[in-house]
Amino acid sequence: MAYDKKELLKKAIEAAKKNELFFIDDIVTFLPCSRSTFYEHKLDKSDELKTIIEQNKINVKVELRNKFRYSDNATLLMALYKLICSDKEREKLAMEYRKHSVDKDTLKGFEINIIHSNGKNSNN
């Protein structure tokens, strides 16, 4: 069956908005075509669909953060704080904090030997 790309895109946009969808694959399930047809028409590349999905995600994130903010639940409050705090604050909150950095001077003198599955050393 031949599908009109514009009509499929229109239905995809309606489905994404109406159902507040977050993923392209979810949109496909609301359409009258197969997944392969959806991708053959390159609807997954639609900037309009991507924008709607991104906006749906942002709306939910804001909603959840507001619920966290006005909650009495300490775990939710801590989660929100960790989302919005600075790196210094996060470091102070952490039970275990590891700073990842490498000083180039500490790497001097290291030798890497790669041993192949045949048991031979590649540096020989």
pLDDT tens for residues 23-50?
999 999 999 999 999 999 999 999 999 9
Place 63 in a pLDDT band, splitting at 50, 70 and 90: very high
User: Where do the structural domains in the chain lie, given as residue ranges?
Assistant: 5-95
**What's the pLDDT at 3?**
84
pTM of the prediction?
A: 0.65
3 state SS for 63-114: HHHHHHHCCCCHHHHHHHHHHHCCHHHHHHHCCCCCCCCCCHHHHCCCCCCC
